[in-house]
Structure 1
Amino acid sequence: MNELFYDAAPNATRVAPERPGPRQYPAKPREVILFGTCVVDLFFPEAGLDAIRLLEREGIRVHFPEGQSCCGQPAWTSGYAAEAREVARAQLAVLDAGMPVVVPSGSCAGMFRQHYRELFAEEPDTLKRVASLAERTFELTEFLLNVCQVEWKDLGEPTRIALHTSCSARREMNTHLHARELLGKLANVERVDHDHESECCGFGGTFSVRMPEVSGAMVTDKTQSLMASGADEMVTADGGCLMNINGSLDKQQQAFRGRHLASFLWERVSGEGRA
């Protein structure tokens, strides 16, 4: 069997990820850590900066540890458990400061909150640190909505947008619900539904590399649905999906595009995107 398709620690204890349930949200903190994610850092750095601007606008001091890198999800979902643990251990070290950790990606936040428990199931002492990180981890829209409890004045022109949330973000962090409610606070934004909203865009990390034909067919269905929705643009809080969808649109020579939700939100509340 190809090593990409089996768990590198086949005898390890398996801990099934939990469906997200109600959380007890803390009061708005004075300081947070932003975990930027490797995709945002490499491909959408402006989205990371816009996430910082949104948090600073709420009076929060944002720390960005330089030692952060990847959450370990690509290695984990490809079956390389040992390598994923090595990456995850490095992230635990830089996120151990006790502050809330805000992540502009539901899939990476879900990795912290759900899958680190399985990664370190054989290490009881490490599990204590994992539990602390899980409790302190918030996806960006979740944090703005339920911790900061933002009330915004929409400074943008009327627009219609379609929302895309990654499969794992929907299952593990309820990101689609948080984003919908947050977008609903913007008076000049109309969110339109599209037929394939709950379906995968075909990225799936290394899935798109291992099965390019299947991935390509999935993203074609997704882009066609987005363009048929009547939306002016698509927004998403997942950089991998954004890269995949925009890449397909570019290949199809379509003008329709998506962008990161953090940048869309910052434009609406700051007015910087106004003509």
Structure 2
Amino acid sequence: STDLTARVLANAAKKYLGQPVVCENKAGGGGTVGVALVAAKPADGYTIGIVTSSPTMSYHMGKFNYHPVEDLTHIMRWGNYLFGVTVRADSQWKTMPELIQYIKSNPKKLSYGTPGMGTPPHLAMEELSMVAGIEAIHIPYKGGAETNAALLGGHIDIISDSSGWVPLVDAGKFRLVANCGDQRSPRYPNVPTLKEIGYDVVARSHLGIIGPKGIPKPIVAKLHDAFKKAMDDPEFKEIMKKLDMPNYYLNSEDYSKYMRQDFEQIGKLVKKLGLDKK
């Protein structure tokens, strides 16, 4: 879902920038590989990237060397995810309470896939495991395409991920048993949130555009304005709607403030889960 939406946004922005925008998907590390590559580039505005909350989570876990606030230029926040827990449609679990009860009765028997260690879907499952008193085996992958293939092939039992699974749910191959957001999705109004089921767990993240530390303000403003205009592109609006991903816009200054708050909140969560770097 990150790659699909970001490519459409970048394609729409090129007409406002007056030059092509080349997209390279650097998978792996739960979204930290691409951010690390961007952070190491010259601060001239020609290399920018997409960031989620994953690098902040990985930083607090001691798995990411760049500081997600101090070592980056924050250009614009533009989106958010629909996070959910899915199983195969032919599985025995019709609801999230049924799945949780089964895991309780069969600790460490089931496995769940995520887009990587230290990602929002991983931390959501870790938090759910703690509050629900369950144990399942975590299998980290490099992204949604891999987790979907693993569940289809029967290599894992559960997916905790963002909405890359939407086409498979709509096709009747996967079943969405829980929404990991703050409220129900308009696309799947009959699927309850984890909070409604009785577990105060919310997967938190965002989608933003970043660059290396120290990009001059006039260049940041030009990039911001181009991508802000691109958000009105009909194709971008359509892909966001298709994946049930809400717009989540903040300008450069407010996005920097948000990142500092997000950094502190995630640090507290990682420590609570006992996953902080020792």
TM-score, with structure 1 as normaliser: 0.30
TM-score, with structure 2 as normaliser: 0.30
